[in-house]
A and B are shown apart, each in its own frame.
Chain A
Amino acid sequence: MLTQNRYGAEIRRILQDPILTISLIFVILFVFVAIILPILAMIGASLSEEGRELFGHYLSTNAYQSIIFNTLVMGVTVAAAGTAIGFLFAYVQVKVNVPFKRFMHLIALVPIISPPFAVATAIILLFGRNGLISKGIFGVRYDIYGLVGLTLALSLSLFTIAYLNFKGMLQALDPSLEEAATNLGASKWRTFRTVIVPMLLPGFAASFLLLFVEAIADLGNPLVLGGNYEVLATRVYISVIGLHDSTAAAVFSVILLVPSLTVFIIQRYWVGRSSVVSVTGKPTGTAQQINHPVVRWSLFGVVMLICALIIAIYAVIFIGSITKVFGVNYELTLDHFNFVINGYGSEAMTDTTTFAIIATPLAGILGMLIAFLVVRKAFIGRGAVDFGTMLGIAVPGTILGIGYLLVFNNPITIALPFVGDNVPAITLIPKLTGGRAVFGGALAIVIVYIVRSTPAALRSGVALLSQIDPAIEEASISLGADNALTFRKITLPLIRPAFLAGLIYAFARSMTTISAIVFLTTPQTRIMTQQILNETEQGRYGNAFAYCVILIGIVLVAIGILYMTVGSSTGAERSLEGGT
């Protein structure tokens, strides 16, 4: 009776609306089939008898223990370095009086579109044994492979997350707080230590944990830059691709899943809750900026140095794509582009783009729909739907990939009981992966793109939707519109900025993802990131770089198109801020 009172009425209300019911069922099915089921299958495979033996073996053998240790150490160093760089950029951007802020901001955004392997390869060419900088300028044969190189590549690829996080927080800090501290006679440094840092502590924790999860899940960088420094993600990859041992792969995956999930849950339920930066909405006064010459110029110098490094990396990629052999023969050539655009790579290019174009709007709309359901509709399990959707990104991509292989490599059928053997079983889900799957495995790849992109759309949708007065939607319903029409005419236009952000992220993510699809590509369906990996492994850096340049170009064009179509302002955002 008690629970019936709580949810009974709400459920009846949802069931009255067929479109709402269908959306809800669809979302629950999506989360279960496309996310939870593969993860469970992967865990299941690791718990077979053979798997349990492997667990014992891996956890007690020195060599494997050090792989686990390596993974965690790399996670911590990348998280620390990335958070520090992100904070530095944000702090200088918001609080320090320096020139070229716009430029710094743009450079900080560049890594959003970093094709896998590109940064790692460029770092080798700059700082490796024959590196342009290490050998060319300093004359040392430096071995960049291993933890140092990985930390450099990963923190430069990932710090943008931390940067955007801190920038938002610093801008939202009420300047009157700082003014109050200064009024009480605190010096700038003291204000920084006693007011700003404590207020941002949840932000530091959140960035650190997010970067940790991203870092230990990364596959591309350790494959190229790892050297003898083996981590779990590469072990999973080698188990599948090199050794064809799916049980071992599942066992390594579960070992990798433990820290990922732990950190994800800590970040969601502990840090996520306690992050109460005093966002007052209408800050009074203007933020004071740091003018102290030594502080100012030394911070400026460090940020500019990092900017230069990022530019150098992307310059290597670009120059590498139009010269014969980077570092050896700088003769200009269009061979690499020719290979990608007209040759072997053209199919990968068009296929990947097509898949991303299909996945992007679906991920965007799905993200907004789930955000709408989670924020606005009280149904049992809405916490689970939110959590399940977020697992799509919290779980390392390799794990999702193996799960897909395990679940969708054969059609999922149901045999009807009590009918003869000659009646064929009913296919619930056809074979999705592998060469002879529906659309040659393309469907699985598109689904993985959606699964990996929806979480970001969901988060930005939830953030924006919870700022919108629910009475606006109720007004629409009160005027006779049903839920579906209200969503289309009122909710979606109002959360359009979140929708746009979700779409951009989905496209960029889909185009650059590797770990989740590396096991799903087939000879029929080639994916650009997979091809980049192949070319890199073969040492044909020129081709790899040409792929990267084209990939970056496609993403930039797509962002431009999305801004023009979805982003055209009708003033909805402004009037929301105006507080009608």
Chain B
Amino acid sequence: MAVSHNGAADSLLLNKISKIFPARGGGGEVTAVNSVSLTIQQGEFLTLLGPSGCGKTTTLRLVAGFELPSAGQILLDGKDITNQPPNKRDMAMVFQSYALFPHMTVFDNIAYGLHIRKLSRSEIKTKVESTLDLMGLRNLGERRPNELSGGQQQRVALARSLVMEPRVLLFDEPLSNLDAKLRVQMRSEIHALQRRLSITSVYVTHDQIEAMALSDRIVVMNQGQIEQMGTPDEIYRRPVSRFVADFIGRANFQETRAEAMMNGEATVTLLGQKMTISVAGSPKAGDTLVAVLRPEALKLRADSSLQPALVEQAMYLGSEVEYRVRINNDTLVVVENDPRASHIFAEGETVGIDLIPEAIHLLPK
């Protein structure tokens, strides 16, 4: 992906950033981030998503200034901040472990950065109190962090960053220490807050649902490099690689052959049906392609004219039924989204399988 250089609305710009660490405990080196370039627009919520160890945290720490890049530049509002120390960058970070100051009250935690900015006492009081209100912490100002629940601690951590009204807000897996229910709730709170305050945000997670729910744009990383960058919808529906398709959501992969190519569309035969669909890259007729079949792109019907499939497993999950069906030597996952409206097939039944061409995506092999 190219870096846009017009950039009036560009807030943050990473230009071919790399970070090489000496390997922990021994010789050699680890390339944690490998020539990453991206731009983040003013007010945008951008998520770095990828498996463990792919370099998300390192990228975020480079932006924050806790690490210095081995190569590349970082620009904030057009100004080169590559070598600026972290305390001089107009950014605030929310940590996975919250990193609250255990020896200070909630109020003092939130006021800490304002004191450093040398705001007057009354100003600090007003700002901290309105932030406490905003975060639903009104009566907790005098408590210490260890007297708060996990969710409250998380709110204080967020409040402490928000009160600084930074140009950029950085999050490193802020929700991963919360239990599932609280995580969903905090997710929607962060979403609402960010949209309301429209603070440019960079968010790190390895949870694809969280990424989809929160982001304007997602950057999928793999082994220190950007694998794909786009809106949640683009990433989900038009993954550029098998890695992305597999990492985001559930997917069945079927190898197939491009029988003909025309205008970036390939004619292929999938589950006995011939169809013409768009394909990423520029393969030639006769090339092998990989079809990404999302579970919801497949439908089971009691129709013997369709490709037959054997139901190996049927799991009723309330809002959906998840099937595992066997076709020849392949096992496919099929999700039926509205179990009430349709018949639930039993394990051992042979059914017909149909597919929705618009929901299928082709990748070059």
Residues of A at the B interface (CB closer than 8 Å) are 2, 5-6, 9-10, 12-13, 16-17, 469, 471-472, 474-482, 485, 489-490, 493-494, 570-572, 574-576, 578-580
28 cross-chain CB contacts under 8 A: A13-B85, A17-B85, A471-B95, A471-B96, A471-B97, A471-B99, A472-B101, A474-B66, A474-B86, A475-B160, A478-B64, A478-B86, A478-B91, A478-B92, A478-B93, A479-B92, A479-B160, A480-B113, A481-B87, A482-B85, A571-B102, A574-B146, A575-B103, A575-B144, A575-B145, A578-B102, A580-B145, A580-B146
C-alpha spacing A471/B96, complex, angstroms: 9
Residue interface mask B116-160, A partner, CB < 8 A = 1: 110000000000000000000000000011100000010000001
Pairwise interchain contact A477-B87, C-beta atoms closer than 8 A: yes
Most buried by B among A16, A476, A480, A571: A480
Given contacts A570-B103, A572-B103, A575-B145, contact A479 B29 (CB under 8 A): no
Take A5-B29, A9-B70, A480-B117 as given contacts and tell me if A572 and B112 are in contact as well, using a CB distance cutoff of 8 Å: no
Q: Which residue of B lies closest to A490 (CB)?
A: B101
Q: Which of B15-54 contact A (CB under 8 A)?
A: 20, 22, 29
Q: A13-B85, A478-B91, A480-B87 are in contact. Are A6 and B22 (CB under 8 A)?
A: yes
Docked Cα-Cα span, A198 to B160, in Å, equals 48
Contacts of A6 in B (CB 8 A): 22
B231 contacts chain A at the CB level, 8 A cutoff: no
Q: B66 to chain A: which residues have CB within 8 Å?
A: 474, 477
- Asked if A475 meets B146 with Cβ closer than 8 Å, knowing A480-B87, A480-B117, A485-B116, the reply is no
| Chain B residue with Cβ nearest A578 | B146
Find chain A residues with CB under 8 A from B98 CB: 580
Q: Chain B residues with Cβ under 8 A from A469's Cβ?
A: 97, 99
Contacts of B95 in A (CB 8 A): 471, 474-475
- Which residues of chain A are near B68, meaning CB under 8 Å? 9-10, 12-13
CB distance from B343 to the nearest CB of A (A): 51
B117 to chain A: which residues have CB within 8 Å? 480
- The answer, yes or no, to whether B188 is at the interface (CB within 8 Å) is no
Q: Is the CB of A12 within 8 A of B85?
A: no
Asked whether B185 is an interface residue with its Cβ less than 8 Å from the other chain, the reply is no
B91 closest partner in A (C-beta):
A478
Which residues of A have CB within 8 Å of B91?
478
Cross-chain contact A493 with B103 (CB below 8 angstroms): yes
Counting from the closest, the 5 A-B pairs by CB-CB distance are A479-B113, A572-B103, A575-B102, A578-B146, A575-B146
Minimal Cβ-Cβ distance residue in B for A493: B103
Q: Which residues of A contact B164 (CB under 8 A)?
A: 479-480
Which of A474, A478, A576 lies in contact with B102, CB distance below 8 A? A576
Asked whether B103 lies within 8 Å of A474 as measured between CB atoms, the reply is no
Q: In the assembly, what is the distance between CA of A571 and CA of B161, in Å? A: 24
Q: CB-nearest residue of chain B relative to A468?
A: B102
- Out of A16, A494, A578, A580, which one reaches B85, CB within 8 Å? A16
Among residues of B, the one whose C-beta sits closest to the C-beta of A482 is B87
Interface residues as binary, B153-190 with A (CB distance below 8 Å gives 1, 0 otherwise) = 10000001100100000100000000000000000000
* Residues of chain A within 8 A of B100, CB atoms compared: 472, 475, 580
B residues in contact with A575, CB < 8 Å: 102-103, 144-146
State the CA gap A409–B343 with chains docked (Å).
Answer: 99
In the assembly, what is the distance between CA of A282 and CA of B113, in Å?
34
Picked from A475, A485, A574, A576, the residue with its CB within 8 Å of the CB of B99 is A475
Nearest-Cβ distance from residue B314 to partner chain A, whole angstroms: 42
**One of B83, B85, B93 near A474 (C-beta < 8 A):** B93
Residues of B within 8 A of A482 (CB): 85, 87
Contacts of A485 in B (CB 8 A): 116
- Nearest CB of A to B35, in Å: 15
Q: Which of B58-94 contact A (CB under 8 A)?
A: 64, 66-70, 83, 85-88, 91-93
Q: Which of B67, B92, B93 contacts A9 (CB 8 A)?
A: B67
Minimum CB distance partner of B160 in chain A:
A479
* Known A474-B93, A476-B101, A580-B100: A5·B116 in contact at CB below 8 Å: no
Minimum CB–CB distance from A85 to chain B (whole Å) comes to 38
Closest Cβ of chain B to A35, distance in Å, is: 28
Given contacts A479-B161, A481-B112, 18 further A-B contacts (CB under 8 A): A5-B70, A9-B68, A12-B68, A12-B83, A469-B97, A471-B95, A475-B93, A475-B95, A475-B100, A475-B101, A476-B101, A478-B92, A479-B92, A480-B113, A482-B87, A572-B102, A575-B145, A580-B145
Chain B minimum-CB-distance residue to A481: B116
Look across to chain B and name the residue whose beta carbon is closest to the beta carbon of A577.
B146
A375 to chain B, nearest CB (A): 16
In angstroms, Cα B154 to Cα A580, docked, is: 10
Contact, CB under 8 Å: A494 / B102: yes
Bound Cα distance from A472 to B22, whole angstroms: 24
A16 adjacent to B83 (CB under 8 Å): yes
In the assembled complex, the Cα of A490 lies from the Cα of B161 at a distance in Å of: 17
Give the docked Cα–Cα distance between A472 and B96 (Å): 11
Q: How far is the CA of A471 from the CA of B102 in the complex (A)?
A: 12
In the assembly, what is the distance between CA of A9 and CA of B62, in Å? 12
Closest-by-CB residue of A relative to B19 is: A9
Knowing A17-B85, A478-B87, A574-B146 touch, does A580 contact B102 (C-beta < 8 A)?
yes
List the A side residues contacting B87 at CB < 8 Å: 477-482
B240 CB to closest chain A CB, in angstroms? 31
Beyond A480-B113, A481-B87, is A474–B99 a contact (Cβ under 8 Å)?
Answer: yes
Contacts of B97 in A (CB 8 A): 469, 471
Chain A: minimal CB distance from B321 (Å): 42
CA distance A13 to B103 in the complex (A): 28
How far apart sit A478 and B170, CA to CA, in the bound complex (Å)?
Answer: 10
Task: Give chain B residues whose Cβ lies under 8 Å from the Cβ of A489.
Answer: 112
Residues of chain B within 8 A (CB-CB) of A2 are 29
Q: Chain A residues with Cβ under 8 A from B22's Cβ?
A: 5-6
CB neighbours (8 Å) of A472 from chain B are 99-102
Contact flag A480-B116 (CB < 8 Å), given A12-B68, A474-B93, A580-B153: yes
Q: Which residue of B lies closest to A570 (CB)?
A: B103
**Distance to closest chain B CB from A4 (angstroms):** 9
Q: Given A472-B101, A572-B103: A479 and B116 within 8 A (CB)?
A: yes
**Chain A residues with Cβ under 8 A from B67's Cβ?**
9
Which residues of chain A come closer than 8 Å to B20, judged between CB atoms?
Answer: 5
Q: Is the CB–CB distance between B101 and A571 below 8 Å?
A: no
The residues of A that contact B99 with a CB separation of less than 8 Å are 469, 471-472, 474-475
Q: Closest A-chain residue to B28, C-beta based?
A: A2
Contact yes or no, A479 B83, CB < 8 A: no
Given the interface pairs A13-B85, A471-B97, A480-B87, the reply to whether A571 lies near B116 with Cβ below 8 Å is no
Chain B contacts of A571 at CB under 8 A? 102-103, 144, 146
- Chain A residue nearest in CB terms to B95: A471
The CA of A289 and the CA of B91, in the complex, are separated in Å by 55
Distance between A272 CB and nearest chain B CB, rounded to angstroms: 16
A20 to chain B, nearest CB (A): 10
Residue on B nearest A4 in the bound complex, by CB: B70
Instruction: Looking at the assembled complex, report how far the CB atom of B120 sits from the nearest CB atom of chain A, in whole angstroms.
Output: 16
Q: Please, how many angstroms separate the alpha-carbon atoms of A570 and B112 in the complex?
A: 17
Could you say which residues of chain B place their CB within 8 Å of the CB of A578?
102, 146
Which residues of chain A have C-beta atoms less than 8 A from B170's C-beta? 478
